[in-house]
Amino acid sequence: MSASFENLLYDLDAASGILTITINRPTKLNALNAATIADIDAAVQQALAEPQVRGIILTGSGEKAFVAGADIAELAALTPDRAGRASLAGQEAFARIEASPKPVVAAVNGFALGGGCELAMACHMRVASENARFGQPEVNLGLPPGYGGTQRLPQLIGKGKAIELLLTADMVKADEALRLGLVNHVVPQAELLPFCTQLLTKILGKAPLAVGLVLDCVNAHYAKGADGYETEAQAFERAFESEDFKEGTTAFVEKRPAVFTGK
C-alpha cells in the first residue's frame, strides 16, 4: 500500500504493519524545505490515522544522506517573521513524531545535519549506518537550530556535550554518536533497513496499548508542566482495564505466546 507525496515515498507493508517513509530529494541530499516538512507532517498524521500502520521507519533516499540539513536557498530568502513561523511549523511537525503512540525508528543513512539531526532526534530510536554523520552546524550560518535541536540534543547526550556540539558545529561519526547515546545502534549500510525492520518487528510483538503508554510516559518526563510519575500511574491503571493485559497475564500463566489486539 502506498500514498502519494511530492517529496516522500510512503510504503506500507500490509503483512507486518511497518510503514517506511522515505524523504525523496536525492539531488538535494534530501534537504528540508517547507514543502518537505509539510509532507512529513501530513504523512505522519496519515499514518497515525491508519489502523494498518503499527510502526514507522523514517529514512532518506540514496546512500549519502538521511537529511543533509535545511534547504539553504529557501532559508536565505525568508524574512524574520516568516522564519519564526517556519521554525514553529517544523517544531510542531517533529513534535507529532515524538508524541506518536506508534514507534518511530530513524534509519539514518549518511548525513543527518541541522534539520536532519533534529528530525532523527524527534524519532523514538535511531539506527545509523556506518557512514552516518551527525551535527548541528547552524551557528556557521549565524543561526541557532530552529526545529528543536537545542532541546532534544541535551536530553539525549547531556547538557555539556550538547552545548559543545551546538557551539562548535562539529560533526560526529556514527561510532561517536553511539558512544554519546545519540543513536541506539550502528550497522553496515546494507543492513540498515533490515535491522530497523527486525527491531520494529520485535516491538510490534508486544502489546500495542502498552507500547503507546510507555512512549507517553517517557515523553511526560520532558514535557513542561507534566508529572511523569503521575502519568505513569494513570497509564498503569488504564492498562489494567485492557484486554491486552488480560491476554498477557493469561498467556504467561499458560506458558504460551500472547496474542495482543491493542484493546
117-147 pLDDT tens trace: 999 999 999 999 999 999 999 999 999 999 9
Q: Name the catalytic one among 118, 176, 247, 254.
A: 118
pLDDT at 201: 97
pLDDT range class, residue 4, cuts 50, 70, 90: confident
Percent with pLDDT over 90 in the chain: 91
All three cell numbers of 34, joined, read 517547507
- Which has the minimum average pLDDT: 11-15, 75-79, 250-254? 75-79
Kindly indicate the confidence band of residue 76, based on its pLDDT and cuts at 50, 70 and 90. Answer: confident
Cα 91 to chain centroid distance, Å, stands at: 13
| pLDDT score for 213 | 97
Q: Which pLDDT band holds residue 2 (cuts at 50, 70, 90)?
A: low
- As a whole number of angstroms, the distance between CA 30 and CA 21 comes to 13
Q: Which of 63, 74, 98, 138 is catalytic?
A: 138
- Mean pLDDT in residue range 69-79: 86
pLDDT tens per residue across span 153-202: 999 999 999 999 999 999 999 999 999 999 999 999 999 999 999 999 99
Do 123 and 104 contact (CB within 8 A), yes or no? yes
Annotation says 138 is catalytic: yes
Q: Identify the pLDDT of residue 224.
A: 86
Cα(205)–Cα(258) distance, rounded to whole angstroms?
9
Average pLDDT over residues 237-262: 92
The residues with which 104 forms a beta bridge, in sequence order, are 56
Please report the beta strands in the chain, taking only residues with DSSP state E, as ranges in sequence order: 2-4, 8-13, 18-23, 55-60, 65-67, 104-108, 111-113, 125-129, 133-135, 172-173, 185-187
Hey, which CATH number is domain 2-204, 3.40.228.10, 3.90.226.10, 1.10.287.130, 3.40.50.2000? 3.90.226.10
CA torsion, ordered 32, 36, 55, 175, to nearest 10 deg: -10
Nearest to 228 by CA among 243, 215, 246, 210: 215
Are 259 and 251 spatial neighbours (Cβ–Cβ below 8 Å)?
Answer: yes
Q: Looking up cell 539553504, which residue turns up?
A: 72
247 has catalytic annotation: no
Helix (H, G, I), strand (E, B) or coil at 19: strand
pTM, rounded to two decimals: 0.95
Whether the CB-CB separation of 101 and 216 falls below 8 Å is answered with yes
Task: Look up residue 202 and give its amino acid.
Answer: K
Confidence of residue 89 (pLDDT cuts 50, 70, 90): very high
pLDDT value for 49: 97
pLDDT of residue 108 exceeding 80, the answer is yes
Model pLDDT, residue 137: 97
What is the pLDDT of the chain when averaged over all its residues?
Answer: 95
Cell numbers that stand for 27 in this block: 539531488
Could you read off the pLDDT of 202-224 as tens digits, one per residue?
A: 999 999 999 999 999 999 999 88
Looking at the predicted structure, is the pLDDT value of residue 1 above 70?
Answer: no
**Alpha-carbon distances, residue 13 vs 2, 9, 57, 198 (angstroms):** 9, 13, 11, 13
Instruction: Kindly give, in sequence order, each residue whose CB lies less than 8 Å from that of residue 19, ignoring residues fewer than 6 positions away.
Output: 10, 11, 12, 13, 47, 53, 55, 56, 57
pLDDT at 3 over 80: no
Number of Cβ within 10 Å of residue 68's Cβ equals 23
